């Protein structure tokens, strides 16, 4: 059985400890926004189990990333292994993750995989997969607004 993802304090910062297929366990660096989501919004602390749906979302958005060996978000997100017996995300957590997804910039190559992740999990109850937009789509939307002005 794979141990579920958890938050780990390391060198004065939080890391996301996850199982990664073909690499064992890794401690992923968290972006400021991902740390704020987990620690400030969701009140996770050291050694708290993080639901797989949240951990994979963070990996797919680049909010959790490898420190030593850069890997694109899509590849890393797909390699984050699920865990039996882990913690289920609450409705409040799903809402917070959906808010995070509405605001975060997603790499163009990861957006379809992230949309499928939303579609295939309980995130779809609080967020439409179409609401997940890539960097390019957001930029184009801003250009369209500017042109309309």
The closest alpha carbon to 52, from 121, 99, 140, 133, belongs to 121
List, for residues 17-41, the tens digit of each pLDDT value: 999 987 789 999 999 999 999 999 9
- d(Cα 65, Cα 20) in Å, to the nearest integer? 12
Alpha helix stretches (DSSP H) within the chain? 32-35, 52-61, 73-79, 91-103, 111-120, 135-148
The domain locations on the chain are: 6-148
List, for residues 34-65, the tens digit of each pLDDT value: 999 999 999 999 999 999 999 999 999 999 99
Q: Is 20 helix (H, G, I), strand (E, B) or coil?
A: strand
List, for residues 132-148, the tens digit of each pLDDT value: 988 776 665 555 555 56
Per-residue model confidence (pLDDT) at position 17: 96
In order of 37, 55, 73, 83, 106, the CA distances from 131 in angstroms are: 19, 19, 18, 27, 12
Per-residue model confidence (pLDDT) at position 143: 52
Strand order in the sheet with 64-65: 6-10, 13-20, 24-30, 64-65
First-to-last C-alpha distance (Å) of the chain: 56
- Residue 92 pLDDT greater than 60, yes or no: yes
């Amino acid at each position: 059985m794979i141990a579920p993802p958890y938050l780990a304090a390391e060198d004065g910062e939080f890391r996301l400890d996850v199982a990664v297929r073909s690499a064992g366990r890794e401690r992923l660096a968290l972006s400021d926004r991902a740390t704020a989501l987990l620690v400030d919004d969701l009140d996770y602390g050291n050694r708290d189990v993080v639901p797989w749906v949240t951990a994979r979302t963070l990996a797919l958005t680049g909010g959790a990333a490898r420190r030593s060996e850069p890997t694109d978000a899509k590849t890393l997100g797909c390699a984050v292994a699920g865990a039996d017996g882990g913690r289920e995300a609450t409705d409040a957590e799903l809402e917070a993750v959906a808010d995070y997804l509405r605001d975060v910039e997603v790499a163009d190559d990861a957006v379809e995989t992230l949309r499928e992740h939303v579609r295939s999990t309980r995130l779809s109850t609080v967020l439409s997969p179409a609401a997940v937009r890539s960097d390019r789509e957001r930029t184009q939307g801003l250009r369209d607004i500017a042109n309309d002005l």
